[in-house]
Amino acid sequence: MPQESSVLDVGCGTGEFERIILSEHPEQRMIGVDVSDQMLAIARQKCSAYPNVRFLPGSASVLPFSNDSFDLVISASALHYFDKPDASLAEMRRVVKPSGSVVILDWCKDYPTCRFLDAFLKMTEPAYRRCYTQTEFHRMLALSGFEIRESRKAWLDPVWGIMVATVLPSGHTAIASS
């Protein structure tokens, strides 16, 4: 990713994604958004050596940015916490530049362990909402105005599975760089 690119991390949590990227690309401009002040405090501390990263409070369903603001929008392991996933995806679509892309990684309910944890967390974790099958995820992406460039599921270890999709705003004609 070119360092002049603008990157938004929706549901940034403790800023681990930012820390990893900035350790390799210390000049990269990044903004992380999360609803948890406690996680944002950890993220700010973790990335305090990088003046080009900011962490802001905000909801994924009402992002505090202008239209077409970012070259890349990322959301990693956060979709299952979004109160309004359709609105959150629509907001990601709104803030990504027409030539940009969105990468979303989340738990995949197609895997048995994720189905079990989905049921368990619904009963025990007040902030948890739900995880999705890949088919449900793809349907949500299409309804939010995205075209899927690449999508896959993967086992992370013997018991855990994720899905990841790289999507482009519908009508996008250019090939996004990998």
Over residues 107-165, the pLDDT tens digits come to 999 988 888 989 999 999 999 999 999 999 999 999 999 999 999 998 877 667 889 99
- Polymer length in residues for the chain: 178
Mean pLDDT throughout 47-65? Answer: 96
Q: d(Cα 100, Cα 73) in Å, to the nearest integer? A: 8
Pair type for strands 53-57 and 160-169: unpaired
pLDDT of residue 113: 87
Element of type H or E holding 137: helix 134-143
C-alpha separations of 142 from 57, 68, 110, 134, 146 in Å: 27, 19, 19, 12, 5
> In this structure, are residues 132 and 140 in contact, taking their beta carbons and an 8 Å threshold?
yes
Indicate the domain borders of the chain: 6-169
Mean pLDDT throughout 9-16? Answer: 97
| Tens-digit pLDDT profile for residues 70-114 | 999 999 999 999 999 999 999 999 999 999 999 999 999 998 888
Under DSSP, the state recorded for 111 is: S
Chain centre to alpha carbon of residue 36: 15
pLDDT at 2 over 70: no
Output the pTM of the full model. 0.89
pLDDT of residue 5: 83
Neighbours of 130 (CB within 10 A): 16
Give the architecture-level CATH label for domain 6-169: 3-Layer(aba) Sandwich (3.40)
User: Which of the four pLDDT bands, split at 50, 70 and 90, describes residue 6?
Assistant: very high
**Amino acid identity, residue 15?**
G
User: Which of the four pLDDT bands, split at 50, 70 and 90, describes residue 177?
Assistant: very low
- Sequence-distant contacts of 125-132: CB under 8 A, at least 24 apart: 127/81, 128/80, 128/81, 129/80, 129/81, 129/82, 129/83, 129/85, 130/80, 131/79, 131/80, 131/106, 131/107, 132/79, 132/80, 132/85, 132/106, 132/108
pLDDT at 172 over 70: no
